[in-house]
Structure 1
């Protein structure tokens, strides 16, 4: 289990972790249950950054931007890159083959730029609205864990969209490991927000995951490394917005 946690951290962050697993990328599917734990590490770094910014007197919006910057440094903006690639590929009317080709292009286009701007603005705005370091840390914890569990669920329910690339190399996740990922993320969410808010956030995240999976299945026929990153970003943004809505209603 510890080896799987190391694999998840190696795959989803820039932390200098070496596992030397002989299975290579194929081991990622085995370690998918630990994806939420990698999210926990990223959320901790972002939450501490927000706390530090708040302590030195920065306003919530600047603290929120710095918290997101910390998370991107820790992950190497891996998921943001996937989001931009997916929106560039699927934002227009390109067919499946052309869309997969666009996703391999390292350049960023209009759709990808707009997707990054909108999601970053929504995430920063949500954190700034939550304002207090405690509320921000709890929201980040739930969103980071649940959005990475969504990646495991996608890998369990969809086939790789092409015979090569990260999706094909990693393979499909077993239902048991995907269920464990959701259970871990749900426990973190309940611990962070409480049962009632956690239930509404889970519902919102499930809705966004369903939309993302339907969209990528219809246009691509399955998942790629980029669609996993895009799914993480969309679900995380949804969770943070749900946290703001829950605070307002509460």
Structure 2
């Protein structure tokens, strides 16, 4: 396949136009230069530098421990590899929830120090003022509703959200509020597909689903999950396109065996 040497950057306006045109939006997480480079080469529309780096890269049980400095570091790495994809960065827990001024300062730091193109934060009406300040500063904001992992201790589990009418109605109203506040998109995580489709039709901004059915304008997954790098994590909404965990373990085992037997390096692999 021929490659166009003139790479055109995906922007927030590109995503809006994709919704209007009925073109689905592809999004994956990435936390380092190599994964970002590969995702970008595959013509991925958007890369999320997720606070899930706390789980995937650092081995924490939740997303809560990751710091703003650490998110900026991961974002810097990803931006260096992304020539085409829109790069969105999570504001980590504790940097925006209670203090709108702190929220603005956190978002400004991410944009200035990483070179990313947008930020993402979790919640609706509860963080209205934080969103308003960030948007008014000219920083693109992606919302996040439904299962919000930073609130895991409040929820008590990672079960499906908004199954009851009251929570579903609040989610719909929050999505409309995010649109009014100027968010360019909203992620909806682990909610009923019917509700996600209803929200998608009710707002003009693109919706990105994760465990929210195919009625959304786009989809996002953790890249390590879809590549099969963690066989112990098996949620219903993840499709594994590869089984890299087994393949990589086998390759490393073979390397160990070859080193132990003096098969590696052979005569053609030395100077």
Using the size of structure 2 for normalisation, the TM-score is 0.27
Structure with the largest fraction of helix: 1
- Which of 1 and 2 has greater Rg? 2
Which structure ranks higher in relative contact order (CA pairs < 8 Å, sequence separation ≥ 6)?
A: 1
Using the size of structure 1 for normalisation, the TM-score is 0.28
